[in-house]
Amino acid sequence: MHLATYLGLLHHAEHTLAEAFRRVGDGHAAEPDVFHLCEVLARQCDRHTDALVPVVERHDERRETEPERLLTAGLGETRSGGVGLLRDLQDLYTLASFVDITWTVVGQAGQGLADRELLDVVGTCERETAVQLRWLRTRIKQAAPQALIAAR
């Protein structure tokens, strides 16, 4: 069963996203809302990772050999300025979207297995990931015109 592989993938992706939130927050500390919310959302990702641990452990015994090139790459150095912020938020958006669809994938497997514990975790984390995406989209929309038109 490849579910274990995918749970591992998701675990890793949430961890990567948490790190990315922290990196973007620190890199743009002069934007107080970005700094603060990135930390709040990073902690949310940490909780998602923790919530996955028991499920991962439960399914780990039945792990297949891992196919290649599954893991997501993290974020590099953050960029600076208005356009840099925009671009970094877009990177976060991409990562969070990946996490989001991975929860969907895992949730489908949970349905197939009627794994109630897993479905509970998926329900909460999927909802919170949707909020993360919503915030990113809102902030990107707000930042875009000024960064692209008026910034020097």
Partner 1 sequence: MDEADRISDIWGARTPHARDESWPVRVDMHLDGDVGEADVDRWVQSACVLCSNGCACDIAVKDGRMVGVRGRAQDTVNHGRLGPKGLYGSWQWSRSDRLTRPLVRENGELVKSDWDTAMGRIVERSRALLDDVGPLSHGFYTSGQLFLEEYYTLAVIGKAGIGTPHMDGNTRLCTATAAAAMKESFGSDGQPGSYTDIESCDAIFLFGHNMAETQTVLWARVLDRVHGADPPRVVAVDPRTTPVAEAAVATGGVHLAPMPGTNMALMNALVREVIHRGWADRDYVYAHTLGFDELAATVEPYTPEVAAKICRVPASDVRRAAEIFGTSPRVLSTVLQGFYQSHQATAAACQVNNLHLLRGMIGRPGCGILQMNGQPTAQNTRECGADGDLPGFRNWDDAEHIDQLARLWNVDPLTIPHWAPPTHAMQLWRYAEQGSIRLLWISATNPAVSMPELARIRAILAREDLFVVVQDGFLTETAQYADVVLPAAMWGEKQGTFTNVNRTVHLSDRAVDPPGEARSDLDIFLDYARRMDLRDRDGAPLIAWTDPEGAFAAWRECTRGRLCDYTGLSYEKLRGGSGIPWPCNDEHPEGTDRLYADGVFPTDPGVCESYGHDLLTGGSLDERTYRALDVRGRALLKGSPYTAAPEAPDDEYPFAVISGRTAYQFHTRTKTGRSRQLRRAAPEPWVELSVADAARLGVAEGDVLCVESPRGSVQAPARIGRGRDGVVFVPFHYGYWDTPAGRAPGDDPHAANELTLTEWDPVSKQPLFKVAAARVVRVADGTGPAAAPTTTASAPARPGAVAGTVGGPGAATQERVGESAPPPAPPTPEHTPGVPRHEATDRS
Q: Is 32 among the residues that bind partner 1 (CB under 8 A)?
A: yes
Number of H helices, E strands in the chain: 4, 0
Draw the binding track, 75-114, toward partner 1 (x: CB under 8 A; -: no contact): ------xx--------------------------------
> C-beta of 19: minimal distance to partner 1 in Å?
19
Q: Which of 13, 31, 69, 94 binds partner 1 (CB under 8 A)?
A: 31
Q: Is 134 among the residues that bind partner 1 (CB under 8 A)?
A: yes
Residue 47: how many other CB atoms lie within 10 Å: 15
Q: Is 41 among the residues that bind partner 1 (CB under 8 A)?
A: yes
> C-beta of 86: minimal distance to partner 1 in Å?
13
- Return the number of the residue (75 or 85) whose C-beta is nearest partner 1: 85
Residue 117: how many other CB atoms lie within 10 Å: 12
Count CA atoms closer than 13 A to 79's CA, side-chain side. 12
> C-beta of 53: minimal distance to partner 1 in Å?
21
Non-local (6+) Cβ contacts of 32 within 8 A are: none
> C-beta of 70: minimal distance to partner 1 in Å?
29
- Return the number of the residue (76 or 81) whose C-beta is nearest partner 1: 81
Residue 59's nearest CA partner among 126, 125, 120, 110 is 110
CA distance 67 to 110: 21
Residue 115: how many other CB atoms lie within 10 Å: 19
Binding stretches for partner 1 (CB under 8 A): 30-33, 36-37, 40-41, 81-82, 131-138, 141-142, 144-146, 149-152
